[in-house]
Amino acid sequence: MSYQNILVETKGRVGIIRLNRPQALNALNQALMAELTQAVQAFDADDAVGCMLLTGSEKAFAAGADIKEMADKSFIDAYGGNFAADWHGIAQARKPVVAAVAGFALGGGCEIAMQCDIIIAADTAKFGQPEIKLGVIPGIGGTQRLTRAVGKAKAMDLVLTGRNMDAAEAERAGLVARVVPAASLMDEAMKVAETIAGMSLPSVLAGKESVNAAFESSLAEGVRFERRIFHSLFATEDQKEGMKAFVEKRKPDWKNK
């Protein structure tokens, strides 16, 4: 598959997608988002891939939706055309997606980072939802995912003032899993992705699905869901292998089934 706006490669069992519109700081236009969704779906369906890694450039993960592409839209263009309804491809992936974020992750850029499962940030990263400064609000989940990630106080602060958070603040607030020096961002993010890709895939899928259930259900319902998924993993060969390997003091040999 040849793409114009992203670069795609596989290293071991990690599928890597790099946003690649340097002239526009990786601003998200329709073409880029269609390619991103296609690449995510392809890795999700590929048995040779256990985890994905999404990144941008040193200067920008993504500086938001493409303002030049959006500027002249009418209400009917946006509403009638259901603008950006198909910009949720990462959130729909079953395999985990690690975001490696350096530089600007603003607006839609912050929103697609939040669609990923783990954000590793370079110390240069800046997160924000500046849409208010353009006379709009976040439109691909920002008000919902940011609020769940950092709570009402900071979400209101960012969404209503449009200010940016640096990497240290984003880590303190719980948006970011780890902050690393910019020079080692890809190495550190790859280590995380490789670690996940080296686990048994059924339990990785189950772990991701169960954590995500916490955002969609009551505590009691989520705990019941988790227990049923836990039970179901006893049907896998990898559960037998994982526990046997522990007892025999050796590394498990996962079959991903």
What are the residue numbers of the active site? 65, 108, 111, 131
Least CB distance from residue 65 to ligand CO8, whole Å? 4
**DSSP category for residue 200:** -
Question: Residue 40 has what DSSP assignment?
Answer: H
147: CB partners within 8 A, 6+ apart: 155
Q: Which is nearer to ligand CO8, 16 or 62 (CB)?
A: 62
Question: C-beta of 153: minimal distance to ligand CO8 in Å?
Answer: 22
Q: How far is the CB of 163 from ligand CO8 (least distance, A)?
A: 12
Q: How far is the CB of 181 from ligand CO8 (least distance, A)?
A: 21
8 A C-beta contact, residue 29 and residue 69: yes
Q: Return the beta strands (E) in 167-212 as ranges.
A: 178-180
Q: Which residues bind ligand CO8 (CB under 6 A)?
A: 24-25, 27, 63-68, 83-84, 104, 106-108, 130-131, 134, 138-140
Q: Which is nearer to ligand CO8, 30 or 210 (CB)?
A: 30
Residues 132-135: contacts with CB under 8 Å, at least 24 apart:
132/159, 132/160, 132/161, 132/162, 133/162, 134/67
Q: Which two tokens stand for residue 32?
A: 């880029």
Nearer to ligand CO8, 27 or 199 (CB): 27
Nearer to ligand CO8, 133 or 255 (CB): 133
